Amino acid sequence: MLFSKRISKRMFPKFLVALLVLGLLVAGCGTAANDTSKPSAAGPVTVTFWHSMGGQPAKTLTAMVEKFNGSHSDIQIKLVYQGSYDDAFNKLKASPDQGPDLFQVYDIGTRYMIDAGLAAPMQDFIDRDKFDMSPIEPHVINYYKVGDKLYSMPFNSSMPVLYYNKDLFKAAGLDPAKAPSTFAEVEADAKALTKKVGDKTVYGFSQAIYGWFFEQYMARDGALYANNGNGRDAAATEALVNSPAGVEILTWWKKLIDEGYATNLGRKTADTQNAFGAQQIAMTIDSSGILPNLTTAAAGKFEIGIAPLPRGNNEVNSGPIIGGGSLWILKNKPKAQQEAAWKVVKWFLEPAQVATWTVGTGYLPINKAAVDQEAYKDFIKKYPSYQAAIDQLHNTPENRITQGARIGVFTQARATIENAIEQVVLNKATAKAALDDAAKKITDSIKEYNQTMGVK
């Protein structure tokens, strides 16, 4: 043998030792047994997914993740609840290096995520794979686009709608098939619906003191929230919340309460939702994404109607803005992690998964092919009123107003608007004065943010 000719008997033991050491060194340079950054014999890639879903949406998401994990041997999703959107967002801002691979961020976090440079743009994956985005609803895509670039993928998308109690409409002599579509009609119907029941009052209308509702009413009335095309033609430098449209919204809101046809239940949307389920109020404004929760509350008691968000008393052809959240792939993660996260994102976009998500949560079917799934067809037969949310999505024109504002201080802005609403409904300020003050505070915050983040 060649081996025996080259190695003497005296050298053989030393040669074996050298081979053993070399083998250990080579092994040490390979993939460690507990390294899940790339597929290996050690196991699948783990994608840590931070989310902020609660209630029924959380149950639906958990079931979907279990389905994914059960059907994929190369990737496993580790689902981690991080509390509210604000909680999760603040946690990432505090420790970006400790963040997840895949992150559900609320709509208003878009500007910060981009300015902070935290994301691997979704457009890069789309372009590389020539991934077909044509089935995805354009109004949803347009919200998250920056120019022609998509930084995140829409996930739990919603729109504000009017929920109303059809049984109470019938009892008040109103047509349960005809929901109010303007502020004036809401006021008239609320007056007819408000009545005394024993020592309690059933109010015709209520809505939580929530900044998102104010933004939606502004857009529905064709008004910009911020200058420079809502911060989309150039960085926003000024808030426009004290425009005539904004003043009209708060004036109408307060008038309903003052006349006794609406009640103020505070800032927590859950409180208003519970009051609607208990038939203490007949109409409310909320996200299309809470339909399952309201349906559960109404089961066996009354039939829920759904209608588009009412507009002010003008004739502007506008519409509301997409709400909810999107999925972001963080760029500080290993390549294998990012690729696995991209595969997870694509899976969630499949028609079957989108249909499951809509049926289980009420969020919009963002893949147009999802409506052809049997699960969705059964859903729309059970809740035909939900079609109003879909029609509103399709009827909303595409422009800078309906795309929504892009500012980096939206969390603070919403809180500022909520303070203004509270001042007005509690008779502490006029609508104009409260919104003038809010506009100044939000504008100052925008300027400070732009300077801090180097936004020009």
pLDDT digit string, tens, across residues 186-228: 999 999 999 999 999 999 999 999 999 999 999 999 999 999 9
Residue 134 has pLDDT above 90, yes or no: yes
Position 119, amino acid = A
Alpha helices in 194-318 (DSSP H): 211-220, 227-231, 244-258, 269-277, 291-298
The CA distances from residue 39 to 34, 57, 335, in Å, are 11, 30, 11
Under the phi-then-psi rule, with left for phi > 0, alpha for psi from -120 to 50, and beta for the rest, what region is 191?
Answer: alpha
Fold equal for 45-158+323-382 and 160-321+404-453: yes
Query: Residue 103 forms beta bridges with which residues?
Result: 50, 328
User: How many whole angstroms separate alpha carbon 330 and alpha carbon 340?
Assistant: 12
**Distance between first and last Cα of the chain:** 75
Q: Looking at residues 154-160, what average pLDDT do you find? A: 97
pLDDT value of residue 317: 79
DSSP H or E run through 394: helix 387-395
CA atoms within 13 A on the CB side of 306: 25
pLDDT at 42: 64
**What's residue 176's pLDDT?**
97
Distance of alpha carbon 334 from the chain centroid: 26
- Asked if 204 and 187 touch (Cβ cutoff 8 Å), the reply is no
What's the average model confidence in pLDDT over 224-235?
97
Q: What is the mean pLDDT of the chain?
A: 91
Give domain 45-158+323-382's CATH number out of 3.40.50.700, 3.40.190.10, 3.40.50.2300, 3.40.1670.10.
3.40.190.10
Give the pLDDT score at 41: 57
**Which band of pLDDT confidence, cut at 50, 70 and 90, is reported for residue 155?**
very high
Q: Token match 């006029």: residue?
A: 430
| Domain ranges across the chain | 45-158+323-382, 160-321+404-453
Q: What is the distance between the alpha carbons of residues 222 and 216, in angstroms, rounded to a whole number? A: 10
Q: What is the number of alpha carbons within 13 Å of residue 17 lying toward its C-beta?
A: 5
- Per DSSP, the three-state class of 311 is strand
CB hemisphere CA count around 155 (13 angstroms): 26
Q: Is residue 364 predicted with pLDDT exceeding 70? A: yes
- For 276-322, how does the pLDDT look when each residue is reduced to its tens digit (9 = 90+)? 999 999 999 999 988 888 988 999 999 999 999 999 977 787 999 99
Lowest mean pLDDT among 16-25, 223-232, 331-340: 16-25
Checking if the pLDDT of 1 tops 60, the result is no
DSSP single-letter state for residue 159: -
Segment 382-390 mean pLDDT = 92
Fold (topology level) of 160-321+404-453 = D-Maltodextrin-Binding Protein; domain 2 (3.40.190)
Q: What is the pLDDT of residues 50-109, one digit of tens each?
A: 999 998 899 999 999 999 999 999 999 999 999 999 999 999 999 999 999 999 999 999
- φ, ψ (nearest 5 deg) of residue 172: -90, 5
* Cα–Cα distance measured from residue 288 to residue 63, given in angstroms and rounded to the nearest whole number: 21
Q: Which of 71-80, 119-128, 377-386 has the lowest mean pLDDT?
A: 377-386
The C-alpha angle with vertex 411 and arms to 319 and 225, in degrees rounded to 5, equals 35
Hey, what amino acid is at 197? V
Spell out the residues 6+ positions from residue 51 whose beta carbon is closer than 8 angstroms to its own: 58, 61, 79, 80, 81, 82, 88, 104
Give the relative orientation of helices 431-453 and 410-425 as an angle to the nearest 10 degrees.
Answer: 170
Percentage of residues in the chain having pLDDT higher than 70: 91
Sheet holding 283-287, edge to edge: 283-287, 160-165, 304-308
Q: Which residues touch 9 (CB under 8 Å, ≥6 apart)? A: none
CA angle 159, 280, 170 (to 5 degrees): 80
Please determine, for residue 259, whether its predicted confidence score (pLDDT) is greater than 80: yes
What pLDDT, in 10s, does the model give residues 160-183?
999 999 999 999 999 999 999 999
The structure's pTM equals 0.88
pLDDT digits (tens, 9 = 90+) for 404-425: 999 999 999 999 999 999 999 9
Residue 144 has what DSSP assignment?
A: H
